[in-house]
Amino acid sequence: MENRKCHIVIIDQDYNYLRTYEEELIRKYSVSAEIQIITDPGYVDAYFSTAQDIDLLIIDEDSYGDGEFLREHTVGKIFLMVREIRSDLTCHDEVKVLLKYMPAEELFEQVDRVLLRVDTPASGLVEKNKKNTRVVGVYSPIGGCGKSLVCVALARKLKMLDQKVLLLACDPTQSMSVYYPSDVHAGEELAEKLKNPDDDTYWTILQNIGRDEVSYLLPFEKSLPSMNITHREIEALIRTLINKQDFDFIILDIGTTLSHEISQDLNKINSLILLTETNVIANKKMQKLLHDPDLLPKCDCILVANEMHSDGMRLSRDSIFGTIAPYQHWEEALDDPVFYRIALKVTE
């Protein structure tokens, strides 16, 4: 079947009403949807005289009537716009009753939910720009060695390579958020959706993504353990993002804790950046990790050394992918050449 855009049809005899939505509607959805607006009652009959395949029909109650004229057509979802909600109004499952004069942003929120669900070939919606989503984890048994900085720096370089990236902090305190440009937090509704997923879970995820130079999932105000968010919820979140294929890369700040349960989840990632430091203490911690190799995921492993806290120790150039030079300010470290090399490596 030939791919096509999602088909949205809007029918309302009150053009003055439609004018309040029309400009924003077209600006917001014209890239992802074919939008058809009908205000002439006579044209409604002519339009439905031939078989129609519609993903979303937004229609006023006068034009809808009893809806019998739609039986011969394929309509995925119907928004029936009414002046007031009546207790005696009964509709089929595919019909959602909405107040006609609801705020525009609330109507668009409902449209967004439909478009997120209509994403299979059978629906006729083109799977536009679907990504082969790859996951890169950043881990170290060493606290304070720059894992979060590596995540942010790598995301910036991947964006320079025209990759769509999402940053995701998985450690208990979501420490990567200190590098985010705002103090906005994820809503508690997201936590509930991760624990009890439903059809709206992905929509809720998208509503909790911050967008700056690169995109990032908003951190919770509380720690993950205090909200009863475990590795199971994080794994389900990552799986959902991979399945939706809206990002080229998801970059995980794994933190310093690596249990066998978390390790099993990490076996699904594509690449692991293992971060160490050039000092004796860090080397001892790394050696302890290497004594339990089953903890490390079975994927491409990129060993990088941060020289910020160096005590003069030198690592064999054959054993590491590259080093991060010491910088006076963390903003300068974001442009270290090693991050561009890593970006090229993970995009191979």
Antiparallel, parallel or unpaired: β 300-306 and 249-255: unpaired
Point out the domain boundary residue: 100, 123, 146: 123
Longest dimension (CA), the chain: 83
Identify whether residues 63 and 16 lie together within a single domain. yes
Mean predicted confidence (pLDDT) in 64-69 = 84
Q: How many structural domains is the chain composed of?
A: 2
Is residue 241 domain-resident?
Answer: yes
Could you tell me the CATH number of the domain that includes residue 103? 3.40.50.10850
Amino acid found at 347: T
Is residue 300 domain-resident?
Answer: yes
Question: How far, in Å, CA of 276 to CA of 162, rounded?
Answer: 29
| Cβ 143 vs Cβ 226: under 8 Å | no
Identify whether residues 231 and 320 lie together within a single domain. yes
Is residue 282 domain-resident?
Answer: yes
Closest residue by Cα to residue 131 from 4, 240, 242: 242
Q: What is the pLDDT of residue 252?
A: 95
Q: What is the pLDDT of residue 130?
A: 63
Identify whether residues 82 and 138 lie together within a single domain. no
Q: Find tokens 């999602």 and name the residue.
A: 6
Q: Is the pLDDT of residue 20 over 80?
A: no
Token pair, residue 309, equals 């806290």
Identify whether residues 189 and 281 lie together within a single domain. yes
Collapse the DSSP code of 167 into the 3-class scheme (helix H, G, I; strand E, B; otherwise coil) and give the result. Answer: strand
How far is CA 157 from its chain centroid?
Answer: 19
| Cβ 70 vs Cβ 21: under 8 Å | no
Question: How far, in Å, CA of 66 to CA of 23, rounded?
Answer: 30
Token pair, residue 345, equals 């490596």
Least confident of 21-25, 36-40, 277-281: 21-25
Point out the domain boundary residue: 96, 123, 150: 123
Token pair, residue 3, equals 């791919």
Identify whether residues 187 and 306 lie together within a single domain. yes
Is residue 203 domain-resident?
Answer: yes
Q: Within 10 A of 312 (CB to CB), how many other CB atoms are there?
A: 7
Q: How far apart are the first and last CA of the chain?
A: 32
Identify whether residues 192 and 315 lie together within a single domain. yes
Mean predicted confidence (pLDDT) in 194-210 = 87
The 8-class DSSP code of residue 58 comes to: E
CA separation, residue 144 to residues 88, 99, 176 (Å): 62, 53, 11
Could you tell me the CATH number of the domain that includes residue 327? 3.40.50.300
Structural domain of residue 280, as residue ranges?
134-346
pLDDT tens by residue, 52-64: 889 999 999 889 8
Point out the domain boundary residue: 123, 145, 174: 123
